[in-house]
Amino acid sequence: MALSNGLLSGRLELHQGLRPSKFVLLDSDELLHSALEEAREAKAVDPEVYGAFHELALRSFVDARGWHTARWQGEAELEALILWDSSANWLGNAQPCLRVGHMNWVCLSLLGSSIPMTAWREEVADSPASEYTTAKLDEQRLRQSLWRCARQSLFGCRAWMIRSYRMLRKGREATST
């Protein structure tokens, strides 16, 4: 947060207006989906968010009861989620593409992990319906970025190892089916 603030304002310090956040971390997809269903029944998640969660295969959602529910997968990814969640404090109403690019660079540089998959709603004046826009991963670029980060920090090394393990496991599952 201090690096981001330093790049944007020239002051390498935490932003003064940070608000506290609460997170519920779940360690399986089944728990995340049951938490989403429970939030929907309690009317703690907007129906549009509920639909987008499944449509875009998201791994976290904001619960209206006061917390952010996430599928925990590693330290760096959780810290990237926390950073993204609090970025509105100092980035304000910047264009989504600028926020995403800036936060992704900060996360890759310090944590060795990209920001969580990000989705936002585009409101188009001429269109009767708005559409979701997502920031998709470029696998080759991500692999190169993680390799560079792995050589420079402990978080980068952990992120590279986790990513390599997942890709290996995904390859084995694809060949076994």
98-157 pLDDT per residue, tens: 778 888 888 888 888 777 776 656 555 555 555 555 555 566 766 676 666 666 666 667
CA distances from 8 to 13, 96, 121 (A): 11, 16, 25
How far is residue 110 from each of residues 92, 115, 126, 145, 146, measured CA to CA in Å?
22, 11, 40, 11, 11
The pTM for the full model equals 0.58
Q: What is the DSSP string of the chain?
A: -HHHHHHHHS--S--TT-----EEEESSHHHHHHHHHHHHHTT-S-HHHHHHHHHHT-SEEEETTTEEEEE---HHHHHHHHHHHHTHHHHTT--HHHHHHHHHHHHHHHTSSPPPP-EEEE--TT-SS-EEEE----HHHHHHHHHHHHTT-HHHHHHHHHHHHHHHHHHHHHHH-
Which tops the pLDDT comparison, 6 or 22? Answer: 22
Asked if 61 and 51 count as a contact pair (C-beta separation under 8 A), the reply is no
d(CA 162, CA 159): 5
Lowest mean pLDDT among 48-57, 66-75, 77-86, 91-100: 91-100
**What pLDDT score does 19 carry?**
78
Residue 1 has pLDDT above 90, yes or no: no
- The pLDDT of residue 54 is above 70: yes
Mean of pLDDT over the chain: 77
Question: What is the per-residue pLDDT for 74?
Answer: 78
